[in-house]
Amino acid sequence: MTFLARPFPRQIACALVAGATLLLTACSGDEELVYEEQPVEELYNRGYTNLLEGQNDLASQLFDEVERQHPYSIWAPKAQLMAAYAHYQDNRYDDAINTLDRFIELNPGNQDVAYAYYLKAISYYEQISDVGRDQRMTELALESLQDVTRRFPGSEYARDAQLKIDLARDHLAGKHMTIGRYYLRQGEYLASINRFRVVIEDYQTTTHTPEALHRLVEAYMALGVTSEAQATAAVLGYNYPGSDWYIDSYALLTGSDLRPEEDRGSWISRIF
């Protein structure tokens, strides 16, 4: 799966340093932290500089120090969000998610809370694995992305989240297709039908729907349930008349002297 560029919009960077008169004058290139009481501006600015230079681990430590040493300053929530981003940049997604959860819990009305929800969703999204593996991360990503669109429907984050929702749903449908094809090859037709039905009923708008319909035709024909095979082929032909999947289904039916035929009593007709 191809992912978009890592999310740290310019306006968020500006928002995190806005509202105060501090300048980014701290030295860069620190290799380790010296744990001593330091002014909030020095800690924050050093963290920001290290982040810009790609020293994400050190940056996150410095931002954590802002929160630890100056928990009631206006910079504490900003540093918390920056620490989460530094974790994310370093591919430490669990740390990023934990930090973001804490930020959201402590700062529900913060002006950057929409970005926090979005970054949390992306932290799950970038852990999506191929369809041959467990899809728990895909489910968590989908849930978090939907949370963004529901809470912040007019934001730029919602627009990008919606695109990723579509990709995540397509990925989950692909998982069911993989399992369904396996059952079909093994001659476990009822089990395969159940998987393809999930695609049709829950992921109908994904790219996998035409193939799922064809595989249902194959499974029904193998079971000798020709009426369902005909009804499914009719739905496939009506919705995807020029697809290769319909051509294959049509050939499968005509090879047994059958034709696609609508059946209003069939579950597939009710779905479509």
Domain ranges for the chain? 8-120
Burial degree of 67 (CB within 10 A; 0-12, 13-18, 19+): buried
pLDDT(152) > 80: yes
Cα–Cα dist 176/206, whole Å: 12
Closest by CA to 204, choosing from 240, 246, 231, is: 240
> 3 falls in which pLDDT band (50, 70, 90)?
very low
User: DSSP of 13-67, one letter per residue?
Assistant: HHHHH-SS-----------S---S---HHHHHHHHHHHHHTT-HHHHHHHHHHHH
pLDDT at 13 over 50: no
Alpha-carbon distance of 77 to 130, in angstroms, equals 35
Mean pLDDT check: name the lowest of 20-34, 179-193, 241-255.
20-34
**Collapsed DSSP state (helix, strand, coil) of residue 263:** coil
pLDDT beyond 70 at 25: no
Q: What is the pLDDT of residue 35?
A: 54
pTM summary value: 0.79
Q: Which of the pair, 73 or 173, is modelled with greater confidence?
A: 173
Residue 5: DSSP 8-state: P
Q: Give me 112's structure tokens.
A: 């950057």
Q: Bigger pLDDT: 41 or 87? A: 87
Q: CA angle at residue 173 from 172 to 177, to 5 degrees?
A: 120
Whether the CB-CB separation of 234 and 260 falls below 8 Å is answered with yes
Q: How many CB atoms lie within 10 A of CB 34?
A: 6
pLDDT value of residue 9: 47
CATH superfamily of 8-120: Tetratricopeptide repeat domain (1.25.40.10)
What is the pLDDT confidence band of residue 24, given thresholds at 50, 70 and 90?
very low
- At residue 130, the pLDDT reads 84
Q: For residue 114, give every residue at least 6 positions away whose Cβ sits within 8 Å of its Cβ, in sequence order, or none.
A: 148, 151, 152, 155, 157
Find, among 264, 199, 203, 205, the residue nearest to 235 by Cα. Answer: 264
CB 84 within 8 A of CB 122: no
Residue 28 scores a pLDDT above 60: no
Q: Are 261 and 234 in contact (CB under 8 A)?
A: yes
Kindly state the average pLDDT of the residues 81-98.
96
Task: Between 158 and 33, name the one with better pLDDT.
Answer: 158
If phi over 0 gives left and psi between -120 and 50 gives alpha, with beta otherwise, what is residue 19?
A: left
Q: Which of 84, 186, 101, 176 is nearest to 138 (CA)?
A: 176
Lowest mean pLDDT across 52-66, 183-197, 221-235? 52-66
% pLDDT > 90, the chain: 71
